[in-house]
A and B are shown apart, each in its own frame.
Chain A
Amino acid sequence: MTNAIHFLPDEKNHEATRLLPYVMAVMVYLSALALMGSILLHKGFGDWTESLSNRLTVQVTTADRHVRAQQVEQITQLLRNTPGIESVRKLNDVEIEQLLEPWLGAGNVTSDLPVPDILDVTVSHALDINLDALSAQMARISDDIHLDDHQQWLGRFLRLMDMVEYTALGILLLVVMATICMVIFGTKAGMAENRATIEIMHHLGAQDSMVARAYQDRFMAYGLKGGIIGLILAFTTLISLIYLSRDLAAGLVKVPALPIAEVATLLIVPVIAALISMLTARITVMRDLGRMV
């Protein structure tokens, strides 16, 4: 005789619930993907926007090469004399070619292509620079000089990223709700299937909590099993996607590195799935038993 008598029939004989772990696996898979997507976007674009937040780009589009060189010299002097500017560096031809290659294709950037001169400017975080004044000073040198602090498109981009994150959160909530509904349905079906057993246990003096414990343990195991399967599938999908995107994106988009620490937190997802499953089953059983004599 074992320590505890398992008064509910074996899982494999439980027609109503034996497929539940696999449905749970799908739910956890979707949740984990939504969470991982959110983490990757947050981490990847967070690093990117951080790197752009103290950078300015100056484009000089004057057609005449000699005049343009003089203007670049003037701007460089102007910037170096401006408090808060840490460094000014003109991008060389190779760097500009690398920037254009993803759009035009390798080898298609010819020397007669009219490309602007680009200055990469690093500003100090400590000092506020009056960009309007700086822009006005540059405009006095030439109308073909454009100062870009990236904020206009970066702001839109960040709003888009926020929307993507909220969408991921919404998907997560829907999946959690669907999981709860599924566990309630499974528990009720399981109880209906074992109604006679539950009645006998009651006649023998079992309390509701004893019956509920049998169900909550079973559904916790379902949640954990499904959670582990779902998480393994989600990790497999994620690693495949990152591997594939490195080939396909080919420099158009910077594929974020896998943030190991953040992704490791997803290991808690099966535990949460198990807890949700367990609590839902317990509440469902206790409420249903409360209606019995």
Chain B
Amino acid sequence: MIHFDNIGMRYGMGSEVLKDISFNLKPGSLHFLTGPSGAGKTSLLKLMYLAQRPSRGKITMFNEDVTAAERGALPKFRRKIGVVFQDFRLLDHLSAVENVALPLWISGGKNIEIEEHVEELLTWVGLKDRMKARPPTLSGGEKQRVAIARAVIKRPDILLADEPTGNVDPAIAKRIMHLFVELNKLGTTTVIATHDMNLVAEIGADRMHLQDGRLHMIRAGENKPLREDEQFDPTEFDSRKLNQDEFGPKDYRPKDYRTTYGDTTLAGDEAS
């Protein structure tokens, strides 16, 4: 699903913030991305959600070389990727419903279906009464839940989350993690950047650990990096083995919106 081959990245003429990054994330895998502040986690995520191009190396996503892709070809990849930004990046002049509906609207979804799905998801994340509220009036935790809902509404093939539970209380954090695990079970390749080692231990997934711009793959439950030859074939992480009860009631299962809106079609562009 995501294959990085000897990636290096620098901003402008500065030194490399990511060095010789190589890994292969299988479809449906779940990984945590850990590392100290400034280690390059956000830069690595930016490469994965195609907001930056690497300085060297090759990135293959969805079986295509995205480093060589033209600008015009990138939206079709981005529509398959859901991102939860650390700073939420909600549009302040839109309501919570409209923010969450954006990915569906961009893909050309029908209004009534969008409304129905968005409201259902917002209800599930506990924002039923805040649907019409605009981000400036939402608390940090509420904003984060809106951001998460926006990232998962289309049931993306890849879900990238940068500190997704940083601003929510433990109960909500569990529900959110449960949603991520559910999405992962449905086949969404998931990478969650976090400092919360308790969460990492609780879920028990493989870890991508960044230190000084270099990546180390760490097997679930272990605290030592994988050998070089193991890093391209990380052990199978089977989220199906996870105990559901640990993550709260199974009260929400993400819909496969791709059947409604299509996952690769650019229906929204036809009128453009």
Do A and B associate with each other? yes
Residues of B within 8 A of A7 (CB): 91, 94, 102
- Shortest CB distance A17–B (Å): 15
- Shortest CB distance B89–A (Å): 5
- Shortest CB distance B153–A (Å): 10
Residues of A within 8 A of B72 (CB): 207-208
The reply to whether A200 and B91 contact each other, CB–CB distance below 8 Å, is: yes
| Chain B binding surface SS class | helix
Cβ of B241 under 8 Å from chain A: no
Residues of A within 8 A of B83 (CB): 203
The reply to whether A213 and B93 contact each other, CB–CB distance below 8 Å, is: no
Q: Which residue of B lies closest to A13 (CB)?
A: B93
The reply to whether B78 and A204 contact each other, CB–CB distance below 8 Å, is: yes
Give the contact-size bracket for chain A: 20 to 34
Residues of B within 8 A of A5 (CB): 94, 98, 101-102, 105
Residues of B within 8 A of A290 (CB): 71
- Shortest CB distance B272–A (Å): 4
Residues of A within 8 A of B53 (CB): 293
The reply to whether B79 and A213 contact each other, CB–CB distance below 8 Å, is: no
The reply to whether A9 and B97 contact each other, CB–CB distance below 8 Å, is: no
Cβ of B182 under 8 Å from chain A: no
Cβ of A250 under 8 Å from chain B: no
Residues of B within 8 A of A213 (CB): 272
For window 253-270 of chain A, which residues contact chain B by CB distance below 8 Å? none
Cβ of B18 under 8 Å from chain A: no
Task: Tell me the bound Cα distance from A292 to B71 in angstroms.
Answer: 9
Q: A1-B115, A203-B51, A210-B106 are in contact. Are A197 and B91 (CB under 8 A)?
A: yes
Residues of A within 8 A of B106 (CB): 201, 204-206, 210
Cβ of A106 under 8 Å from chain B: no
Q: A210-B269, A293-B53 are in contact. Are A1 and B75 (CB under 8 A)?
A: no
The 4 tightest CB contacts between A and B, nearest first, are A205-B79, A209-B272, A205-B78, A9-B93
Partner-B contacts on A (CB < 8 A): 1, 3-5, 7, 9-10, 13, 196-197, 199-210, 212-213, 290, 292-293
